[in-house]
Structure formats: structure tokens, C-alpha cells
Amino acid sequence: MRAAVFHEPGTPLTVENVDDPSPAAGQVVIAVKRCGICGTDLHATEEHDGLLVPGTVMGHEFAGEIVEVGQNCSTDWKPGRKVTGLPSHSCGNCLPCKTGKPMQCENNIVLGLQRSGGFAEYMTLDTHNSVLLPDSVDWVEGALIEPLAVGLHAINMSTDIRGKRILVLGAGPVGLAVSFWCRFMGAYHITVTEPEQLRRESALQFGADAALASGAPAEVLKEIEKAAGGAPDVVFECVGIPGMIAEAVEYARHGGEIMVVGFCARPDTMVPAAAMMKELTARFVVAYDKADFDMIAGLLAMDKLDVTHMCTGTVGFQDFSAAFESLRTPNSHCKIMLDPGAT
């Protein structure tokens, strides 16, 4: 089959012929119909952080059709069914696995980074980490469940955003998904701060009431208070670089809440007293639970979500590598997807 393979940082993915996958027990093989390109993919191919294994087929935002069923799968898993899944090969036995959090599994293997993912004609999935989709959910919607789940998880882990003033730091796909769900779940006012003009415009399409240029927090806070009528009750940090948690502390109102969503693997500093003097609550979250996928699949099945506009481009294998590289520079795309069946 054809697949886009990562070889080394700084080199574009190459489309190659690789072996067709076959299902182990508890697995199915799917024909991938769509797979989105993620910021994580771009970062992982820039610098070698040890997570992305050379020779791996990338892609973790996939939807497809079952073509082969391994042993020990329940009868619901049959050829022709639509499916998406968490990009996770987990042990199923540790505490995170038993509580529906395979992405936090002690032995987790991430599909698309450490094991073959969805930038391919076919891939294998563990049925226990996958979700069957009704026929009414289309391929684009199915492949958007993963990026939407990142935002939904952050909201589900927060105390309550209903009727609240929200500040979202960063309008990348994670910030946009957070903004989308805050609107859907009934926030009162949503401000997004973001340095890039194009992304600020996207934020307004994703539910934000105000999109402000990033700047010195003392100055930006004045603009937020003017737009929202007060300092934010809940701040979602969706940037993931050092210094952002300290900024979130500056923005939050007294007694407010900070949700740390942006993935930052570098040391960061903050002044605890600044957060203490406001008696803030902070919560750190990562990825999603199986339940987040189930909830979005359910909402899509009931036709409650209008999300297909999030996919702003579709390419076949021929243009895939160039499209992937083009996302490294500022652009107006929200999500470009691979359609392995396109010419």
C-alpha cells in the first residue's frame, strides 16, 4: 500500500510503498478515508524529541472503513462499518486504561508517532480504543473527532464554563476547538488572544466574541475587560510555551480557574504568590478520554454539530508532502486532510 513515511527531522515525508497491515487479535484493519494533518505532526518532524520513531507512517486524526477483522473482536466490528479511534495502542490493564484514559497508559504507543498511523491506504486499530460511527457521519466529520476531542476534554475537565467569561490563549487548532466547545456549551463571553492575524479571524468563526492581538498582559487585560465586562473567570492556556502559565495567572480574576491545555515539555517558571493572592484553581489536562470521542460521535450522529468547515483542504498522496510542508509557514488553513483514494 501507499503511505507517507517519516525518516528524519527536517526532511519532508516521503510517499512510499510499504507492507499492507494485518490485524492482531482485538484489532481491525481500516481503509483510511481521511486523515488530518496536525500541529503535533509538524512539531514532531522539526526537532527530534525521541517520540517520533524514524520509519513511522504518521497521522493520528483518521476515519475509515473496516476491511478486515482480527480474532476476538465482538460481532459489531464487521467489514463496511465506519470507524475512528484514539491513536492509542494501550495495555488495557493499568489504572489510566481501566478508567478510560488510554492516552495516559503507562505503556501507551501512539499511532502515527510510534506505530503506523493514518497517512496510508490502510492501518490497524485496537477495537477497545475505537469508536464505530453511524453511516450518517461523513468521513470529514469522522476525521475531525480527534482534534475536536482535545478541546472538548479541556472543557469537560474544567469546573463549569456555562455563563462564564472565558479567555483562550492561542488560536491554533487546540485554541479553536476550545473556543468552539465553550460556545457550544454556553459560555457567556469568549475572548481569544493570538499573535497571527489569520488565526484571529478564524477564532471569530469558531465561536469567539473577541479576538485580540497578544501583547503585554496588563495592556491586553484592559481590552478584555472592555470587551467582556470583566476579567476572565476561566483561562484556557492553549499555546504550550514557557511563560504562558504565568500569563494565565495574570489574566484570571480573583477566585478564577486556569486550564493548562497547551503541551509544553520544557521547564517553565511562575511566581506561586501571584496565583495564591487570587486563590486560583489550576488544572493540567492532556489529550482526551474515550468518553470524549463517544460524546462527539453521538453529537455528530444527532446532527448537532456543524464542523465540516474546519476542513479547509483535501489532498491525495501526490500533493500530500507539499501540503504538509506548506503548513509550517503562516497560512489560513484550519485543517488539511489526506484522502488516500484521491488521485
CA distance 208 to 180: 8
AA identity, residue 287: A
CB of 334 to Zn ion, least distance (A): 13
What are the φ/ψ torsions at residue 139 (nearest 5 degrees)? -60, -40
What are the φ/ψ torsions at residue 28 (nearest 5 degrees)? -125, 155
Q: Is the CB of 97 or the CB of 248 nearer to Zn ion?
A: 97
Q: Is the CB of 44 or the CB of 228 nearer to Zn ion?
A: 44
CB of 140 to Zn ion, least distance (A): 15
CB of 48 to Zn ion, least distance (A): 19
What's the grid cell of residue 191? 475572548
Q: Which secondary structure element, helix H or strand E, spans residue 76, and what is its range?
A: none
Q: Is the CB of 94 or the CB of 327 nearer to Zn ion?
A: 94
CB of 87 to Zn ion, least distance (A): 8
What's the grid cell of residue 333? 488553513
b/e per residue 3-37 (b: at least 16 CB within 10 A) = bbbbeeeeeebebeebeebebeebbbbbbbbbbbb
Q: Is the CB of 91 or the CB of 185 nearer to Zn ion?
A: 91
- From 1, 29, 41, 30, select the one nearest 336 (Cα to Cα): 41
Q: Is the CB of 102 or the CB of 232 nearer to Zn ion?
A: 102
CB of 229 to Zn ion, least distance (A): 34
**Which value, to the nearest 10 degrees, does the dihedral of the CA atoms of residues 200, 283, 153, 96 take?**
150
CA distance 168 to 211: 9
Positions touching Zn ion (CB under 5 A) are 38, 40, 90-91, 94, 97, 105
CA-to-CA separations, 88 to 22, 100, 145, 165, in angstroms, rounded: 17, 12, 14, 34
* Interacting residues of 342 by C-beta distance below 8 A, sequence separation 6+: 314, 315, 316, 317
CB of 102 to Zn ion, least distance (A): 7
* Interacting residues of 207 by C-beta distance below 8 A, sequence separation 6+: 179, 180, 182, 183, 184, 190
Q: Is the CB of 4 or the CB of 97 nearer to Zn ion?
A: 97
CB of 28 to Zn ion, least distance (A): 20
- From 236, 230, 231, select the one nearest 207 (Cα to Cα): 236
Q: Is the CB of 151 or the CB of 207 nearer to Zn ion?
A: 151
CA distance 52 to 204: 33
Specify the residue for cell string 465482538: 74
CA distance 13 to 11: 7
CB of 93 to Zn ion, least distance (A): 6
Q: Is the CB of 85 or the CB of 232 nearer to Zn ion?
A: 85
Q: Is the CB of 108 or the CB of 191 nearer to Zn ion?
A: 108
